[in-house]
């Protein structure tokens, strides 16, 4: 496994096809080069807190190493009062694009840290990170797994979970919503 700065035109085109600008992709992602059965591959890599990574390309969606959440602090020196919670990193990147575009109806008006679960199947690993915040804005998918994860968070942190998914309904997730918006 080799990690580099994200420069591959094909990977940047892939992100662009998902509505993600190259500048945002480069800011939060790396380019992973890896070998499977003596064949070389590469993809967009998004690191997690345990050194593992989610890897995506037009042809692959998977994880390398340990599957774990990703925590991104707005200010490295201190934790914010609120956080935004995303199911996957493409939704987080979509949020950054929408923030740049000034989509006020989808972006909280308070400073937030970011927690990306990288899968609802590991919600139990993300809960300790979410639980330290006064308020969590949850951008989970509009499907059964997303609703179930939201219910779990709401049960464990009553009154502290702010559901954001209805704001991009009827789309399944925030990235789907972004891809249907006119480009500016």
pLDDT-derived band at 44 (thresholds 50, 70, 90) equals very high
> Which residues share a beta bridge with 161?
136
* Residues 70/49, Cβ–Cβ less than 8 Å: yes
DSSP H helices, 79-173, are 89-101, 123-130, 144-156
Q: What average pLDDT does range 99-113 have in this prediction?
A: 94
For 153-162, which contacts have Cβ atoms below 8 Å and span 24 or more sequence positions?
153/85, 153/123, 153/127, 156/127, 156/131, 157/130, 157/131, 160/133, 160/134, 160/135, 160/136, 161/135, 161/136, 162/108, 162/135, 162/136, 162/137, 162/138
pLDDT-derived band at 112 (thresholds 50, 70, 90) equals very high
Q: What average pLDDT does range 7-12 have in this prediction?
A: 98
pLDDT-derived band at 182 (thresholds 50, 70, 90) equals confident
Please give the model's pTM, rounded to 2 decimal places: 0.96
Q: What average pLDDT does range 46-69 have in this prediction?
A: 96
pLDDT at 184: 63
pLDDT-derived band at 161 (thresholds 50, 70, 90) equals very high
Is pLDDT at 183 greater than 90 in this prediction? no
- Give the C-alpha separation, 19 to 173, whole Å: 13
Query: Strand 61-64 relative to strand 70-72: parallel, antiparallel, unpaired?
Result: unpaired
In percent, the amount of the chain with pLDDT more than 70 equals 99
DSSP letter at 58? S
């Amino acid at each position: 496994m080799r990690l580099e700065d994200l420069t591959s035109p094909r990977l940047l085109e892939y992100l662009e096809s998902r509505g993600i600008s190259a500048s945002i992709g480069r800011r939060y992602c790396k380019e992973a080069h890896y070998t499977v059965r003596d064949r070389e591959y590469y993809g967009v890599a998004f690191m997690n807190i345990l050194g593992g990574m989610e890897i995506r390309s037009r042809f692959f969606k998977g994880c390398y190493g340990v599957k774990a959440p990703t925590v991104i602090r707005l200010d490295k020196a201190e934790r914010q009062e609120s956080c935004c919670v995303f199911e996957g990193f493409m939704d987080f990147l979509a949020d950054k694009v929408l923030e740049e575009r000034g989509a006020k109806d989808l972006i909280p008006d308070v400073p937030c840290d970011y927690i990306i679960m990288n899968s609802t199947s590991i919600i139990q690993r993300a809960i300790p990170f979410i639980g330290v915040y006064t308020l969590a804005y949850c951008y989970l998918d509009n499907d059964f797994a997303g609703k179930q994860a939201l219910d779990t968070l709401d049960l464990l942190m009553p009154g502290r979970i702010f559901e954001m998914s209805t704001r991009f309904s009827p789309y399944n997730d925030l990235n789907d919503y972004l891809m249907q918006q006119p480009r500016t």
